[in-house]
Amino acid sequence: MSPKDLLLALVVIIVWGMNFVVIKAGLEDMPPMLLGALRFMLAAFPAILFIKRPNVPLRWLLAYGLTISLGQFAFLFYGMSVGMPAGLASLVLQSQAFFTFFFAALFLGERLRLANLIGLVVAAGGLALIGMQVDRSLTLVGFAMTICAAAMWAMGNIVTRRIGKVDLVGLVVWGSLVPPLPFLALSWWLEGPVQIESALRAINLDTILVLVYLAFGATILGYSLWSRLLSRYPASQVAPFSLLVPVVGLTSAALLLGECLGGWQVVGALLVMLGLLINVCGGWLYGRWRPSLA
């Protein structure tokens, strides 16, 4: 990978890793469903005026928007609003990798590799340790909602695979047209018109900056750069960089929000990271070592 593209990969890692601290800041001033609606409104407009609609059937565009956008972030935002720390959210959400392999085997008939199964078992043990450490900083509901968010992200990945080769930026932008109305309906139902009006009246510069970051930074810029890397290099060379996202998420949450992990949470986090590493790199390492073992 060239130095320029390596720098772009690091930009994506930082932007996506810091995303969780920004979400936490946004949830201080705005209810989760309303925050989701405004995020995707801003991600869609005015970008759809400049980015061509991808050549994707409407049903698949709807499926993409309802899973990876609405489903993932409805669960994630709600989970973080009821007791999921930002740093742990960045880590637990990466369990989407294992859900993706499971759903791919279930719906697409793909075979699981040994590295996937070993990584799944190791990471599941880590997630179980984290989930058992319920206290004031981590609630069971928040943890469960984040797991659901990871599952919805994985379903979105399956939809993306069914769609096939497509301009990912166009898919993200036009897919962002799907979530706003369902988010607003959920906000009206769960948060109520009084809270919606109060939050909109109280919008300040901090809230605007949060929305700009979520819409243009984490969504449009992040996916644009990531799709550029995937178009230039094999996925096996790009995917390992995603392992650094929770590292940035945990570090930024500790530095900016003062979040501290308990002893068993640290052990759980390390196991999840090890499981992700085995999942991403296990097959490659086995291929490198196999000749020497023969």
> Quick check: helix, strand or coil at residue 76?
helix
pLDDT band at 282 (very low <50, low <70, confident <90, very high): low
pLDDT band at 211 (very low <50, low <70, confident <90, very high): very high
The predicted pLDDT at position 283 comes to 58
Rounded mean pLDDT of 48-68? 94
The predicted pLDDT at position 180 comes to 97
Q: How far is CA 50 from CA 47, 197, 250, 287, in A?
A: 5, 31, 35, 44
User: Which of 83-87, 201-205, 271-275 has the weakest average pLDDT?
Assistant: 271-275
Distance between CA atoms of residues 134 and 265, nearest Å? 10
Q: Is 111 exposed, middle or buried (0-12, 13-18, 19+ CB in 10 A)?
A: exposed
pLDDT band at 285 (very low <50, low <70, confident <90, very high): low
Rounded mean pLDDT of 219-227? 86
Distance between CA atoms of residues 185 and 240, nearest Å? 37
Distance between CA atoms of residues 170 and 182, nearest Å? 21
Q: To the nearest whole number, what is the mean pLDDT of the chain? A: 87
Q: Report whether 47 contacts 227 (CB < 8 A).
A: no
pLDDT band at 288 (very low <50, low <70, confident <90, very high): low
Q: Report whether 45 contacts 219 (CB < 8 A).
A: no
The predicted pLDDT at position 264 comes to 74
Nearest to 35 by CA among 184, 228, 256: 184
Identity (one letter) of the amino acid at 235? A
User: Which of 15-24, 53-62, 86-95, 283-292 has the weakest average pLDDT?
Assistant: 283-292
Q: Name the region of 242 (left: φ>0; alpha: ψ -120 to 50; beta: rest).
A: alpha
Q: Is the dihedral of CA 161, 165, 167, 171 positive or negative?
A: negative
State the DSSP H helix or E strand holding residue 294, giving kind and residue range, or none if neither.
none
Distance between CA atoms of residues 42 and 21, nearest Å? 19
Nearest to 48 by CA among 178, 197, 217: 178
Rounded mean pLDDT of 200-220? 94
Q: Tell me the backbone φ, ψ of residue 139, rounded to 5 degrees.
A: -100, 155
DSSP annotation of 46 reads: T
User: Which of 33-42, 80-89, 123-132, 188-197 has the weakest average pLDDT?
Assistant: 123-132
